[in-house]
A and B are shown apart, each in its own frame.
Chain A
């Protein structure tokens, strides 16, 4: 379970402070798939960063009783000047996993081929996401945090993602921030809507999507 209690986060903008999250409460249980909805700038990425521990909240706390991935998205988590293989090696070291297994899985899953020996800064955002996603699948987390992008790439790759995540790992929890309502509707059973720093939880994803459209 991941529980968020009274979480607040603000950023300094010039001399003023802008509150992005204002007293957020929720909990996510193993196996739940939750969509995080909200307009641009509503604080979806900010909330995902707090859950992942990338940034620390001003107040409130996050209680983690299951392991969570780092926020998977276009950026973050990689060293741009290192190659895909070097990044995989580094990540396998800090998470204490076997590099051999991770390497095989990443090669097979990402289909990036030669590009894996190139610096990650030369990757397109789609390639970065593939690599990040493959690495986090290889390490095995209880809860996956996915920011903005989801299942990018061609049909075949999307199918592969769906297989890995929904068939082989249907017991894992998932938090997805996205604007793509079709994917979200198919993927998630619950939804959180972020608006004006507040979070409203809906137990049915349809209600959440409707609330989002009415913002």
Chain B
């Protein structure tokens, strides 16, 4: 038991040190620093929200358009930046492998945590701001909303664990990332309520665990009026298999990693 506790201590220490290191290298210590991580998702969500307000009017699918854009875009941007940041994590941080207590999994975890915390903060910030001007409802079911976040991010983490080692096997992979993230957009559930799709289309998008997570989050925010469609078992099963496979893949790639 003692060694288990010691291992946990080291793990926590390493993750903390890596997070601080990543934050200083990425955002520096100047001006707002870490808060920059919120900037991209917020800008995206608000600008798209305004654009849609201009195109479609203030309401779409029976909810405020900006609220719709925020609830859809922020998780989508999380997914996208996690995938992009997952590329070549291991070789880019090769010098960290000099310290034996740092594992490749820590590198993936740290990137994921930073993105996750940043995007959740952005969501919270946008929600409170919009709520204060009456454009965002008081959450209908916070518990389900959080479960939705967990589902969405579990799948995202699984994808990082695949993209990171995959990008080490061949440089071609990197070229495909932008187009693959683009193709994923309809399967993120950001731009529709599943309940408003044709049943045949709904069936297809529900293959994607992200859609289940998104529907849960939006049900948690907007309530039953949006006729959310989701399952509890299917998406988490897919994500767990993905994570398991990813862990295995990372192990194989770690063995092959050549460090200068």
Contacts and interface: CB of A to CB of B under 8 A. Distances in A.
A52 B98 contact: yes
A55 B257 contact: yes
B25 interface: yes
Interface residues of B, number: 26
Given A11-B258, A82-B21, A77 B98 contact: yes
A91 B21 CA distance: 10
B138 to A, nearest CB: 41
Contact of B258 (A55, A75, A93): A55
A4 B96 CA distance: 23
Interface in A53-83: 53-56, 58, 70-71, 75-82
Interface string B100-139: 1110000000000000000000000000000000000000
Interface string A38-50: 0000000000010
A86 interface: yes
Contact of A56 (B14, B17, B255, B260): B255
Contact of A94 (B13, B24, B258): B13
Nearest to B21: A90
Interface string A131-152: 0000000000000000000000
Given A76-B259, A96-B13, A54 B97 contact: yes
Contacts of B102: 94
B10 A71 contact: no
Nearest to A46: B258
Interface residues of A, number: 26
A133 to B, nearest CB: 14
Nearest to A55: B259
A12 B169 CA distance: 12
B25 A82 contact: yes
Contacts of B95: 75-80
B62 to A, nearest CB: 49
9 contacts: A54-B98, A55-B257, A56-B254, A75-B260, A76-B98, A77-B99, A79-B95, A93-B17, A94-B14
User: Which 7 pairs of residues, A with B, have the shortest CB-CB distance?
Assistant: A93-B17, A77-B98, A53-B100, A70-B98, A76-B98, A56-B255, A94-B17
Interface of B: 9-10, 13-14, 16-18, 20-21, 24-25, 95-102, 254-260
Given A54-B100, A82-B21, A96-B10, 11 more contacts: A52-B98, A55-B259, A56-B254, A58-B255, A76-B95, A79-B96, A80-B95, A81-B25, A82-B24, A93-B20, A95-B101
